[in-house]
A and B are shown apart, each in its own frame.
Chain A
Amino acid sequence: KQEVTQIPAALSVPEGENLVLNCSFTDSAIYNLQWFRQDPGKGLTSLLLIQSSQREQTSGRLNASLDKSSGRSTLYIAASQPGDSATYLCASIQQGGSEKLVFGKGTKLTVNP
């Protein structure tokens, strides 16, 4: 059974800082791994999706990496801005045909002006 863990649970940084959010998973037989952002009272917004055959994906100031052998993914945010403040969630879909996203509990990021 896949378990996804995100550390830290909360993170507060000053504006402009580069930061890394961590996600670990217990079962490396993943189909893909996704990073989402959730703003208070809002739904989840898909940020980056990494297929199992890929090592990383980039979108603007965001870069997500995937290392299946170590069971880890990281989300790198460059030059953080107050607008980046949100909860960031990682989730995996396992191989074998399942459609279930298995989520971590998320990291609540606060970027202070």
Chain B
Amino acid sequence: EAGVTQFPSHSVIEKGQTVTLRCDPISGHDNLYWYRRVMGKEIKFLLHFVKESKQDESGMPNNRFLAERTGGTYSTLKVQPAELEDSGVYFCASSSYRRGRLGYTFGSGTRLTVV
């Protein structure tokens, strides 16, 4: 079974530019989550999709962040325009059951550097 795939693995962009991160969850996993780790801080929740619907987006920092999940399959997280404080590692995770009852599968993350 393929794991959770994230693309790109690294991205370096200038302040003010736009970046789109992609996550391909495990096939058949309805639940998809985005998390972020800013340097020196703990990993923090961004949002949760159930299929194509946003179930909880309370962790999204501001309206420069836009997440979508097309047809309940892969998801994208767009940052527009990027700011320096957006630098960090963005993780995607998926699960087949709610609330991680049988555990989560995390991707390797996208390391975003805004310069």
Write the residues of chain A forming the contact surface with B, with a CB cutoff of 8 angstroms. 4, 31-32, 34, 36, 41-46, 49, 89, 91, 93, 98-106
User: Which partner residue on chain B sits nearest A34 by CB separation?
Assistant: B100
A99-B33, A100-B56, A100-B59 known; A43-B108 Cβ under 8 A: yes
CB pairs A–B below 8 angstroms (16 shown) = A32-B99, A32-B101, A36-B106, A43-B4, A43-B106, A44-B106, A45-B106, A46-B104, A98-B56, A99-B56, A99-B100, A101-B45, A101-B104, A103-B35, A103-B44, A105-B41
Of the candidates A4, A31, A45, the one whose C-beta lies within 8 Å of that of B42 is A4
Bitwise, B38-55 to A at CB < 8 A (1) or not (0) is 000111110010000001
Q: Which residues of B line the A interface, CB within 8 A?
A: 3-4, 31, 33, 35, 41-45, 48, 55-56, 58-59, 91, 93, 98-101, 103-109
Q: Cα distance A43–B35 when bound, in Å?
A: 11
| Contact assessment for B100 and A42 in the assembled complex, using a CB-CB cutoff below 8 Å | no
Contact in complex: A42, B103 (CB < 8 Å): no
Query: A43 near B42 (CB under 8 angstroms)?
Result: no
CB distance from B40 to the nearest CB of A (A): 8
Contacts known (A42-B108, A99-B56); A31 close to B41, Cβ less than 8 A: no
Residue of B nearest to A44 (CB): B106
CB nearest neighbor in A for B6: A43
User: B59 — which chain A residues lie within 8 A by C-beta?
Assistant: 100
**With a CB–CB cut-off of 8 A, which chain A residues contact B101?**
32, 49
Partner of B107, one of A43, A49, A101: A43
Which chain B residue has the least Cβ–Cβ distance from A45? Answer: B106
* Smallest CB separation, A99 vs chain B (Å): 5
Residues of the A chain whose Cβ atoms lie less than 8 Å from the Cβ of B56: 98-100
Is the Cβ of A105 less than 8 Å from the Cβ of B42? yes
A51 CB, nearest partner CB in chain B, Å: 8
